[in-house]
Amino acid sequence: MHLTVFIWGFTAILGKSISIQALPLVWYRIWSVVVIMGGVLVVKGLGFRQARVARLFGVGTLVGAHWLLFYGCIKVAGVSVAVLCLSSLTFFTAIFEPLVFKRPVRAYELVLGGLAVVGVIVLLRFEAKVEPLGWALGLGSALFSAAFGTFNGVLARTEAAERVTFYELFGAALLTSLFFVFWPETFVPPWELSLNDAALLSVLVVICTVLPWMWSLRVLKVLSPYTLAVAVTLEPVYAMVAAVLIWPESEKLSVRFYVGSAILIALGPVNALLRKRFG
């Protein structure tokens, strides 16, 4: 689980480093994964037969919306704001999971979700002058992430991870392609991609999407979506450590970093203890 979150910590940095706009970036990322996973299904002999195609496509549209809003937030407001807003994922999951799994809302999950937001606010430099559009994109991204993550908590326990990945991202790819009807000028043909962007996209697709996506589905076979969401709150920690290693001249770790990190790291064991005691 934590290896998956650690790798996801690099997606924001890659999104900032890739020069093309959010829409073509997400389009290339998703379609590349669909092609790769189609090949995986053939090589493994798993086949494409799937009784829940419509449901998987529906969840895939949530995935597509999440990525579009997340990278849109990065382009508009920067990595810090995008990751800060993503910290609200825990709070949204605490609301969605009881609805999908048909169980009561747990008060301690809402409290831990609120503490996750506090931890990231302390962790990151607070961008008070960010336009409302930046915050709206970031919070919308977290909302859709909580939604598809919760639904995957159900699907992952009955379906093969490879087929779930293929059909969900196929649905996300179709949704993303529709946006070019309204903004055709944003499309970037493959021959216009710089070598740097093409290389970074390859890393984003293979290392930061295909592998951790399937791992996350396998994690959800034994853990709840909320537990995974708590782990995802560590993504800003990994992202900031990576930023310091990549840009040591411009990025410094302050006392605020260690305080915020301590809050987020503590949420994992606290959640485990409360879940063991209260169910």
Over residues 160-202, the pLDDT tens digits come to 888 999 999 999 999 999 999 988 999 999 999 999 999 999 9
Most confident of 25-34, 107-116, 248-257: 25-34
**Predicted pLDDT at 127:** 47
**Predicted pLDDT at 135:** 80
Q: Specify whether the CB–CB gap between 71 and 201 falls below 8 A.
A: no
Distance of CA 107 to the CA centre of its chain: 25
Q: For the segment 84-141, what is each residue's pLDDT rounded down to a tens digit?
A: 778 778 888 888 888 888 888 777 777 777 777 776 666 655 544 567 788 889 889 9
DSSP label of 124: S
In the numeric block, which tokens belong to residue 267?
């949420």
Q: Is 1 helix (H, G, I), strand (E, B) or coil?
A: coil
Per-chain mean pLDDT for the chain: 83
Q: Show the DSSP H helices in the chain as ranges.
A: 2-8, 11-17, 22-44, 53-77, 79-86, 89-101, 107-123, 132-155, 161-182, 195-205, 211-219, 225-232, 235-246, 255-278
- CA geometry: angle at 141 spanning 103 and 237, to 5°? 90
